[in-house]
Structure 1
């Protein structure tokens, strides 16, 4: 069994603690734009009948449900997350959706996925890769469980390039967001969010990490003035 590092355990406990208000605060703090980003990210994958998809750091299952809404009924989805509380909320959300028969869940960290090599046609992870303590190991696991010809799509926060927009974004992200998040949930968790984004590698460096893990034709797409970025890699 994979043992999380001390930092990994702290992050896991943090997500367990904020799980009950997680969906609400996602919508509030992003003004609902996060839904549009997820829809666009899922559209970057080409699907076929009977395909299998894995959504890592699935949280409460938003991306898993988005995949189900965009794909044929023969496509099955597994959501994996290391937070048991998040997964339990995801299971409840899926049970109340039209896609309950197509989505299952596993409790597992990105660095140690309990699936055989080449198990999936697509792998996604949205706003989760920055929480993976050993990112190279996590990316190698994503590559391992993909079949040949499969695709990984990674959606993550990034830093806007425009100086004017960056200053506005930083003020909101560093000053306003933690206060709002703390009012409804846990301040320390929503202080961690901007800190984790600011320490995330540059787009070029992260694409290099994907290439090192084995991915080919690695590219990125900026979203909403560079607030978020989609990274795409093929096997």
Structure 2
């Protein structure tokens, strides 16, 4: 599915979120900057938007990893155009079986990727394994809008968003799958509890845009 939508993925993200996704990534990078990382792993990197934002914001070396080769191919072209190919490397790999040694990275980031892990506990445990002791994993993921805006957002999310996604991507599955996966995914205190159960010592989180998305900082 992700291979199929790779050529239109960036356009769809910016159109469907009205470019708010850029602000969300920048918020994550600003939080990450305080830890002054030298080497960062960006899991489920897709076309590399977060990897690029992390490198620009922290001047660190970044490794981007994704299961979709077509997404990576788009990302490699973007990185070369920005002359960042010496700073960001992209490789194919599975988030639930990371090809890296224990305690390697100063930080691990994931934007809109943990929701797609086949086995969430295994994937989170792998993120924890490869980050250094005392360092953090930063997860940006969709959550749910609560309060009076909730019904309006859900109408957009379930009806309008899939229609636009299908029109632009020509893939029937990609954006009908999105609301279903978000509805099924834990968020807020539930996600915090899962991260603590995984073995992280401390978990903080920030809600973004009335709760449409949330950033979790889980410290090993």
For 2:193 and 2:95, how far apart are their aligned partners in 1? 19
Give every structure 1 segment of 4 or more consecutive aligned residues whose post-TM-superposition deviation is greater than 4 Å.
Answer: none
1:165 aligns with 2:153: no
Number of the residue aligned with 1:184: 168
Q: Following TM superposition, by how much is the alpha carbon of 1:209 offset from its aligned partner in structure 2, in angstroms?
A: 1.3
| SS of corresponding position for 2:139 | strand
Within 5 Å, give how 1:89-100 maps onto structure 2. 89-100=74-85
Kept in 2: contact 1:25–1:181 (CA 8 A):
yes
Number of the residue aligned with 1:140: 125
Q: Following TM superposition, by how much is the alpha carbon of 1:47 offset from its aligned partner in structure 2, in angstroms?
A: 4.0
Task: Decide which moves more: 58-67 or 207-216.
Answer: 207-216
Kept in 2: contact 1:53–1:76 (CA 8 A):
yes
1:48 aligns with 2:36: yes
For 2:126 and 2:192, how far apart are their aligned partners in 1? 16
Unpaired runs of 5+ residues, structure 1, are 1-13
| SS of corresponding position for 1:206 | helix
Alignment coverage as a number of residue pairs: 218
Q: Following TM superposition, by how much is the alpha carbon of 1:232 offset from its aligned partner in structure 2, in angstroms?
A: 0.8
Q: Following TM superposition, by how much is the alpha carbon of 1:36 offset from its aligned partner in structure 2, in angstroms?
A: 0.3
For 1:202 and 1:89, how far apart are their aligned partners in 2? 30
Number of the residue aligned with 2:136: 151
RMSD across aligned positions (CA):
1.0
Q: Following TM superposition, by how much is the alpha carbon of 1:122 offset from its aligned partner in structure 2, in angstroms?
A: 0.3
What TM-score do the two structures reach when normalised by structure 2? 0.96
Kept in 2: contact 1:76–1:102 (CA 8 A):
yes
